[in-house]
Structures are given as C-alpha cells and as structure tokens.
Amino acid sequence: MSITVAVDCMGGDHGPRVTVPAALDLVRDRSDLRVVLVGLDDSLRPLLGSAGGGRVAIRHASEVVEMDESPALALRNKKDSSMRVAVDLVKQGEADACVSAGNTGALMAVSRFVLKMLPGIDRPAICAVLPTLKGHTHVLDLGANVDCTPDHLLQFAIMGTSLVAAIEHRDRPTVGILNIGEEEIKGNDVVKRAAELLWESGLNFVGNVEGDGIYKGDADVIVCDGFVGNVALKASEGLAQLLATFLRQEFSRNPLTRAAALFALPMLNRFRKRVDHRQYNGATLLGLKGIVVKSHGSADSLAFRRALERAADEAGSGVLGRISERVAQRQPLRETA
C-alpha cells in the first residue's frame, strides 16, 4: 500500500529550500511513499532535478500564508495558499496526510474549516513526542486550547492513547494528567474533575503526573490544557538551549579545554544526537477528520523529514478510525453520568 503525503512547501522560516530536499530525501529512502509538493511552481521545480520518478508530484498553489499572518484572514482570503491546497488534498482523498511548517494558528483554522472535527471531539489538540528516561511520551495539548473543560481533557486522553495504540501497536497505553503536587492545593478544579472522568473512562489512567514526571516517563500519554503544555514545552526548549550554551562555553574556554573537547567529542556528539530536538519534530493536530502534522517553523531539512515521517506513519496506522471507535465507546458512559 502506498501512502501519499501532501507537503506545504512554502511554510516555515526557510520554505522550499528546506521542505523540498527533505521530501525528496525521504521518498528516496522509503519506497512506500509518494509526496505531492504544494507551492509556487516556479520556486519548486528548479529544486526538483530528476528526483523521485513517479513518486514526486508538484501541485501549483499561487499564494503563501505568512508566518505572522492572522489566521482568520489567511482562512478567508488565501484560498489558493500552499497550506490550504495541501489540506484540501487530504480532504479530497488525494493525500493521506499533510505537513506544514507554517503559521500554527492558520494551519489550525484551515484544517478545522476544511477537514472538520471527528464526531465527539470538540476541538483539535496539538500532540508532540518528548524524550524520557524510559523512551518517550506523548503530550497534548501544546497550545491549541488555552481554556479547557474537564471533558476536553478526557477527549485529549482518548485521542492521545488512540494515537499511541495505533502507531506503536500497544494495547493499553498509560495516560496521566499534568498537575502540581503542592500539598495545600493539588491542582485546580478543572484538573480534579478531569481526573474523576479519567478514572471512570476505562482508559489506563495512572493519575496525576507532575512536571518532572514528563521526562521521567511516568505515562505514555500526558494531557494538559494548551497554556500549561505550551509553557512547559517552551521552558524545556529554553533550558536545553541554556545548558547547551553553558556546556559549549566550558569546552571552548581556552586552548587546553578545547584540546580536551577533542577527546570528548564522540561522546558529546552522541549526547547531542540523543537529545536533538529535531528528532522530535512534528506535532500532530489531533481530532480532525484527516491527518495534519505541524513542523516547527525553524525546522531544517533533517527536522522537516522527521515531521514527514510522522505524517506517513500516522497515515498508515488507522489512528482516525481508532479515535472514532474510542469516542463511540464512551457515549454510554456519558449518558449514564
């Protein structure tokens, strides 16, 4: 079975010079894939060369959504943007998934408008993978929803566990809810009520997870509202950069430390590779009737390739069907509640 991924080639800080090579590179390595490169024909064609044979197509789109453009205006005015056309291809069944490094808000708005939500899901959530001491974990929402009800958090849990079950072929992934452990309070009312719903949900719920539990690997899936999730993710990015900077400074302090760095280089490089955030690039917009993956705007070609791989893997996993099934299963629970 061949999988087709539509690529918004114009999105992101670097546009086609990153997105096109990444797509061609991936198609070269995976014979089960086709890509449709969406964007300004004139910008894309020169980058194509003789690559890909029948598995690389170009779809012209005359407009580009800018990184700082208002999502509402992008949705209303740019019906032939590379982003919109890539999502349209998924809607029309010409692609199994799409990937964009463009404006997150615009991608959310366009995807929701074009694809619509799965039945029983109120809003899309942004789900990404983070490294842990035990392997990795999926966290959602990372910024799509600033104010969430307990039921939204339950929906996130259903979507997240369905995704992990589908992609990693695991029966009952564990799910936790992000909370704080201070004795006097133990979380706000929304989180407390969401935890009650989760205990009753039939999911493999493990209860509260504190901030450090994300990286300890306390659960396969961790749910939180988009404000908290976004702050936690960005704070982590900031800290990782700080530590990398400090480490570099210590090893480049003087000729002696630079010499020692040569000896340490293989280990430092392996370490760097292991925690390389590019490996974790590609956040899924879950809850839509179609697979949409958001790449980091600043992604380089290696990072963008990872986002494309994620989209391809999800397209082949049957995740949407699984979410729908799970949501259908919970209806009786809600009616008796």
The residues that touch a second copy, with contacts defined as CB under 8 A, are 68, 70-71, 103-106, 108-109, 131-133, 143-144, 146-147, 178, 180-185, 187-189, 210-216, 224, 226-228, 230-243, 245-247, 250-251, 253, 257, 260-261, 263-264, 266-268, 270-271, 274-275
Instruction: Quote the least distance from Cβ 123 to a second copy, whole Å.
Output: 11
Instruction: Quote the least distance from Cβ 211 to a second copy, whole Å.
Output: 3
Instruction: Quote the least distance from Cβ 201 to a second copy, whole Å.
Output: 23
Instruction: Quote the least distance from Cβ 148 to a second copy, whole Å.
Output: 10
Q: What is the DSSP letter of 81?
A: B
Could you tell me the two tokens for 157?
């849990």
Q: What share of the chain is helix, strand, coil (3-state, %, to 5)?
A: 50, 20, 30
Instruction: Quote the least distance from Cβ 190 to a second copy, whole Å.
Output: 10
Residue nearer to a second copy on the CB measure, 149 or 236: 236
Residue nearer to a second copy on the CB measure, 48 or 261: 261
Residue nearer to a second copy on the CB measure, 248 or 334: 248
Residue nearer to a second copy on the CB measure, 172 or 270: 270
With contact defined as beta carbons under 8 Å apart, do 4 and 86 qualify? no
Residue nearer to a second copy on the CB measure, 184 or 335: 184
**Distances 36 to 20, 69, 81, 98, 109 between C-alpha atoms, Å:** 10, 24, 14, 9, 22
Residue nearer to a second copy on the CB measure, 23 or 110: 110
Instruction: Quote the least distance from Cβ 226 to a second copy, whole Å.
Output: 7
Instruction: Quote the least distance from Cβ 129 to a second copy, whole Å.
Output: 14
With contact defined as beta carbons under 8 Å apart, do 301 and 149 qualify? no
Facing residues of 8 across strands?
38, 100
Taking residue 268's Cβ as centre, other Cβ atoms within 10 Å add up to: 14
Distance, in Å, from the CA atom of 288 to the CA atom of 105, rounded to the nearest integer, reads 15
Instruction: Quote the least distance from Cβ 4 to a second copy, whole Å.
Output: 28
Q: If DSSP codes are grouped into helix, strand and coil, which group holds residue 162?
A: helix
* Preceding peptide of 141 cis, ω within 30°: yes
Please count the CA atoms within 13 angstroms of the CA of 236 that sit on its side-chain side: 18
Distance, in Å, from the CA atom of 155 to the CA atom of 124, rounded to the nearest integer, reads 10
Could you tell me the two tokens for 334?
């809600």
With contact defined as beta carbons under 8 Å apart, do 90 and 36 qualify? no
Residue nearer to a second copy on the CB measure, 52 or 211: 211
Instruction: Quote the least distance from Cβ 206 to a second copy, whole Å.
Output: 16
Residue nearer to a second copy on the CB measure, 140 or 319: 140
Element housing 25 (H / E): helix 16-29
Distance, in Å, from the CA atom of 260 to the CA atom of 336, rounded to the nearest integer, reads 67
Residue nearer to a second copy on the CB measure, 30 or 136: 136
Contact partners, residue 278, CB within 8 Å, separation at least 6: 299, 300, 302, 303, 306
Contact partners, residue 192, CB within 8 Å, separation at least 6: 186
